[in-house]
Structure 1
Amino acid sequence: MLNIEAEWISFVIVGFATLFLVGEILVNAKGIFSLLGLGFITVYFSSFLDTGMFFIMLIIYFVGILLIVIDGKVLNDGTLAVIGTVLMVVSVGFASPNWLAGTYAVLGVFIGGLSSLLFLKVFKKRNMWTKITLFDQLTEEEGYSSINTTYKSLIGKTGITRTDMRPIGTVKVEEKEYSAITQGKWLKKDTEIVIESVDGTRILVKEKQ
């Protein structure tokens, strides 16, 4: 068992461990970062824990890492990533010999994790993260459109309300029905309307004069 006497060393060791392990998730480092991260986190846990607790906390820490990976590959909503981060924090916090060393260790998790984002500027990023970060700009020139082209073509056309507009309701334009809204004005069913503007799929109508 190694001996870490200065509490701030926990920040350094856990920080580097998280930096390299999360960095391995973000970029393709060919396993080098994972080995470095594993080495640092092993030093941390082995310094304070006996063999039984060493493996328990190590497993909890890596389950946290695994949840972050699963979030990046499957869910992409951040839920599992948050849970994974909590598990990492819990493992290093409970493994520390006192509250000060634990605080340093927890800071190491957050600072190391945030610092790993710098690797994205240097190394090739993994494709799994493109789902959440949207590296490609969604522009019409690249084949994307933030506004439904069918709805855009409705601007200026006339129709009739199929329900009462309070101020949201249904309108019929060219034999098709759409959900629409007025500028706060209530309109009765079967009122003639004109499409004033379209914002995405939000259709703004007004009474035809």
Structure 2
Amino acid sequence: MTQELLTWLSVLAFITGIIALVLEIFVIPGFGVAGVAGIILIGWGVLLLSVDFTQATAALGVALVATVVLFGLGIKLFSKLKLWQRITLQDKQNSASGYVAPVSEPDISPGMVGTALTPLRPAGAIEINGMRLDAVTSGEYIPPGSRVRIVKLEGTRMVVRVVTD
């Protein structure tokens, strides 16, 4: 290859890499093949343009370190801007503010009997041992006030039937 062709090839690789990165950022969702290809093409273009391989490798290393440092400083400084604070959530969710994790389900097991608080058609609320719980039927309608028995527990889904005895 002639030197002139090699120069144009490196410029073409560099520009194609920038186009691939721009497409990846603004057009293609996520970071995938176009982004990685863009980074590789930009690096390859810089290596081809350099006179000395050692010089190019050192320049790429310095650029990589500078990018990481500037990115870190940018995040630190950008997070202090009023615009950033207006568009991000600043409140913390703690128990002093009233945020508490839901209490784990009490000891509920199949066979327990309770009362339907609302119509179950097929979903509604029941009461067992003074606790209000959500339940579903197998498809039948159960009027409020009916006695119901838990027939199946599937994770958080509680299936009940009318007590007939």
Determine if the TM-score, normalized by the shorter chain, exceeds 0.5.
Answer: no
TM-score w.r.t. length of structure 1: 0.36
Which structure shows the higher helix fraction?
1
Q: Pick 1 or 2: higher relative contact order, CA cutoff 8 A, min separation 6.
A: 1
